[in-house]
Structure 1
Amino acid sequence: MLDVDFPLTGEPLILDLVNTRPHTAAGPMDLLSTPAGLQAWLGIQAYRLLTPVPVTAPTEADLAAVHAVREHSATAIDHARRGECPPRAALHALSSALGDAPAYRELGWDGTAVTSTPRRAGSLGARLAAELAEAAADLLTNPQTIALVRACAAEDCVLLFLPAHPRRRWCSASRCGNRARVARYYQRHKS
């Protein structure tokens, strides 16, 4: 598996997806630019996904489906968190992704009781896109939560987060917060 350093994980699933396009010193970067990058991200997110992480790298088509959900989610979240109506095209694309791999429950028997396991039909890309679109829908349809989504206060950072504490300003205290503190210290102590 590819060794990729994802700068911020542990936020709501859809924010983790949107945050796979950070800015670096070299400029904007896409951490999911290849199927191997997608597989690495899926490995980190596996505990939150219904879709099993594939043993082999996803295909270019799978990657394109995830990219489409990421783009439309980023657009919709950007508008909704500011209290604006998201573009109809973004909402339609997310709805289409949900419909391309409908969810169903698979019934089984565990030896003592009937079990119900959520499943999705379709190709890997369609299942991933639907699951990620569902995560976007969950965030977008919760007015209290979407209003709390913030962009990192660091000038060169584009990452989004859902603050657990109302005073949180940076995506990560060790990443952007530390750089801001060092810059303030330098400004106070430069000759």
Structure 2
Amino acid sequence: MADPELLIGEPLALDLINTRPVGVDLLESPAQLADWLRLESDRLPEPPPRQLSEADVAAVRAVREHTAAALDAVRNGRRPPNAALRVLADAQAAAPAIRRLDWIGGELAETVARLGDPGARLAAHLADAATTLLTDPAVGRIRQCGAQDCVMLFLPAHPRRQWCSPERCGNRVRVARYYQRHKSTD
């Protein structure tokens, strides 16, 4: 397998799941979580916490693992495990969302804010992203990368898409095919 690297650009919940390629966890430390959050910052409702703790990493990883379990069940036509649904709901409840009015650009606007400490708000937002993904009708189109040694998931914009990334796995598969074709003709 190629060196593990962060893969972003899919729905946020898939990007989170994709932080665990085979045998590797790309969110083992507060520094690694901070790096991932920087890459995803334009998709977060607020800046990531300045100081991340091991507890924040554990909360995000719990959301990730239970999102993955629920997604696996839904993709295979099964009911998600109760534990997965409970953990996602608990993450959301730990930082309740409130609707409020704010004066923005000279007019009233409704905004949603989460209460609680920054780590709980982060886990709640990621659980919200999981909820959005799991209830989206497009969830049935999510695929696993076609490269033999890759477990990354993606939501194809084009029905012929086979790989998580043309640069990451697509090139490796094409090079391997080329090598096999030319090896057999030698």
TM above 0.5? yes
The C-alpha deviation readout for 1:30-86, integer Å capped at 9, x for no partner, is: 111100111111111111111322333x01111110010000001111111121111
Alpha-carbon distance between aligned partners in 2 of 1:6 and 1:106, rounded to the nearest angstrom: 39
**2:34 aligned partner:** 39
**1:162 aligned partner:** 155
Q: How many residues align?
A: 181
**2:8 aligned partner:** 9
Gaps of 5+ in 1: none
Q: Read off the aligned partner of 1:172 and give its amino acid letter.
A: S
Q: 1:98 deviation in Å?
A: 1.2
The C-alpha deviation readout for 1:117-159, integer Å capped at 9, x for no partner, is: 32111122211111111111111112x2110011001111110
Corresponding position: 1:126 with 2:120? yes
List aligned pairs for 1:47-58, cutoff 5 A: 47-56=42-51, 58=52
Gaps of 5+ in 2: none
Q: 1:111 deviation in Å?
A: 6.4
**2:103 aligned partner:** 109
The alignment's TM-score, normalised by the length of structure 1, stands at 0.89
Alpha-carbon distance between aligned partners in 2 of 1:112 and 1:97, rounded to the nearest angstrom: 34
Q: Read off the aligned partner of 1:35 and give its amino acid letter.
A: P
Conserved? CA contact 1:50–1:118, under 8 Å: no
Secondary structure at the counterpart of residue 107 of structure 1:
strand
The alignment's TM-score, normalised by the length of structure 2, stands at 0.92
Corresponding position: 1:137 with 2:131? yes
Partner residue of 2:171 out of 163, 175, 178: 178
Conserved? CA contact 2:49–2:119, under 8 Å: no
Deviating runs (4+, > 3 A) in structure 1?
Answer: none
Taking structure 1 as reference, are residues 180 and 111 closer, same or farther at Cα in structure 2, changes over 3 Å only? closer
Q: Percent identity?
A: 57
Taking structure 1 as reference, are residues 67 and 111 closer, same or farther at Cα in structure 2, changes over 3 Å only? closer
